[in-house]
Amino acid sequence: MIAGELKNRIDSLWEIFWTGGLTNPLDVIEQMTYLMFIHDLDESDNTHAKESAMLGLPYESIFSKEVKIGERTIEGSQLKWSVFRDYPADRMYSVMQEMVFPFIKNLHANKDSAYSKYMDDAIFKLPTPLMLSKIVDAMDELYAQMEKLKDSDARGDVYEYLLSKLATAGVNGQFRTPRHIIKMMVELMAPKADDVICDPSCGTAGFLVESGEYLRTYKKEEIFYNKEKKNHFMNHMFHGFDMDRTMLRIGAMNMMTHGVESPVIEYRDSLSDQNPDHEQYSLILANPPFKGSLDYDIVSADLLKVCKTKKTELLFLALFVRMLKIGGRCACIVPDGVLFGASTAHKAIRKEIIENQRLEAVISMPSGVFKPYAGVSTAILIFTKTNHGGTDEVWFYDMQADGFSLDDKRSEIAENDIPDIIARFKNIEEEADRERTEKSFMVPKQEIIDNGYDLSINKYKKVEYIPVEYPPTEEILDEIERLNAEINKETALLRELLGK
């Protein structure tokens, strides 16, 4: 977690952007992403040069003697962060605008830079030389502070803290699933070292980042002491798709600041024929768009065969089934309407997951989880792709608290069901005997079928009514008369004191 001096430096840096006129948090993070990329490009080039020198190997810097920018040929060294940061503000601004940004936009052909393919449509938006100069100085101080901490996670934590500021940005908050909910879902699914993980609507890549952090914590020796598995982790494990190029850039940087060298983060309309993936992934973690509506002609035909609908939340469920390998697992967030909707399409997708796949769990979340941006009630579905059924019993959990107040403020509170959810799910064999008045319980498949494949927890949960005994009516009336007499007595005393 970010705290103390590091947090203060980020907040100060953020304030420079805002006071300089860049007030859209998404723009701020995008510009900081570019600047971090430019800084890291210099740093990684220096590291590669030192490593090559130690090994006696030749190395050609990407900042080679002369670099062609459009029709101009310039000295490459002035594109390095460590060089232009010492220029006067006006010169630094012109170098950044006319040389550095065109340079990074054309780096995609350079195999040495994993960052470059996400920067080919970068736009420089800082309005003044003075603002750029202040930001460069502040970023140097930020990097120096991170270096002092000697903490390998500091870079990732800094970027996560920046992304958390999207949650203060009104409609931009839609891009972020709450971090503690992501972490819970990852822990429930417990990624493995050989998994191929995908989020088809990845946004800032929160699910992919958290999966990587989980693997670093629990599978460190298995992955990082094995050359083949480390290569898989760095280059082939993580796949994310989105239709917003700003989100792709931010998501890619988020992954790379968390130590994944070359994630597969791509521009793609996941629901269209543009997405060819069939049985590619062993784990899908996602919070797909709610309440979207698409035209039939832009939706992949094989998804419409599963459920003919324009609703994105239903189409994404059909997509997850298609994209998973046999034996692949999925944990996804859906609006409550998916669980009980009575339309043909709603029933068709629930039937597909229950009858043809193996539905394992439905975790009902309170409506305040996504506040202040949406009050919709949501649930987490967990299932495994089998293509031949396997649903026997479904585990239901009624989450009532997630560690934060369920109003617009979302203040931290003591009540939190998340540790209990993880503990019970990991010991699901012990859940069979629980009563339906408890927070969690099992429901047989046949009962769900008999209820029209309804997956809403209220359909199966039993409410325990405890009778409340009240005093007899005469006793209540006597108490009212006594209170009235006392009020009259005090009123008369007050009038006497006031001399009225």
CB 200 within 8 A of CB 319: yes
CB 146 within 8 A of CB 6: yes
Which residues is 239 bridged to in the sheet? 198, 264
| Residue 341 confidence (pLDDT) above 80 | yes
Q: Do 150 and 224 lie in a common domain?
A: no
What digits encode the pLDDT tens for the residues 22-41? 888 888 988 998 898 889 88
Q: Do 218 and 92 lie in a common domain?
A: no
Ranges 159-163, 209-213, 290-294: which has the least confidence = 290-294
pLDDT band at 304 (very low <50, low <70, confident <90, very high): confident
Amino acid at position 499, single letter:
G
Q: Do 451 and 492 lie in a common domain?
A: no
CB 166 within 8 A of CB 159: no
List the one residue out of 322, 321, 294 whose CA is nearest residue 308: 294
Ranges 325-329, 466-470, 476-480: which has the least confidence = 466-470
List the one residue out of 429, 354, 426, 347 whose CA is nearest residue 385: 354
d(CA 233, CA 115): 17
Q: Which domain holds residue 288?
A: 177-459
What is the CA 26 to chain-centroid distance, rounded? 15
Q: Do 442 and 364 lie in a common domain?
A: yes
- State which of 163, 185, 215 marks the end of a domain: 163
Report the 10 Å Cβ neighbour count for 328.
23
Ranges 237-251, 292-306, 319-333, 339-353: which has the least confidence = 292-306
Query: What is residue 23's predicted lDDT score, i.e. its pLDDT?
Result: 85
Amino acid at position 392, single letter:
D
Q: Do 38 and 96 lie in a common domain?
A: yes
| Residue 353 confidence (pLDDT) above 90 | yes
Is residue 172 domain-resident?
A: no
d(CA 269, CA 253): 21
Query: What is residue 16's predicted lDDT score, i.e. its pLDDT?
Result: 94
Q: Do 235 and 345 lie in a common domain?
A: yes
Q: Do 367 and 491 lie in a common domain?
A: no
| Residue 178 confidence (pLDDT) above 70 | yes
Q: Do 113 and 232 lie in a common domain?
A: no
- What pTM was estimated for this model as a whole? 0.82
Is residue 353 domain-resident?
A: yes
CB 332 within 8 A of CB 289: no
Is residue 479 domain-resident?
A: yes
- State which of 113, 141, 163 marks the end of a domain: 163
| Residue 155 confidence (pLDDT) above 90 | no
Is residue 280 domain-resident?
A: yes
CATH number, position 274 = 3.40.50.150
Is residue 169 domain-resident?
A: no
What digits encode the pLDDT tens for the residues 212-271? 999 999 999 999 999 999 999 999 999 999 888 888 888 888 888 788 878 998 888 888
Q: Do 111 and 190 lie in a common domain?
A: no
Q: What is the mean pLDDT of residues 407-412?
A: 85
Is residue 38 domain-resident?
A: yes
Q: What percentage of the chain reaches a pLDDT higher than 90?
A: 52
Residue 149, SS3 per DSSP = helix
- State which of 163, 191, 221 marks the end of a domain: 163
Q: Do 221 and 109 lie in a common domain?
A: no
Q: Do 308 and 228 lie in a common domain?
A: yes
Q: Do 64 and 150 lie in a common domain?
A: yes
Is residue 465 domain-resident?
A: no
Tally of structural domains, the chain: 3
Is residue 451 domain-resident?
A: yes
What digits encode the pLDDT tens for the residues 378-403? 999 999 999 999 999 999 999 999 99
Report the 10 Å Cβ neighbour count for 110.
12
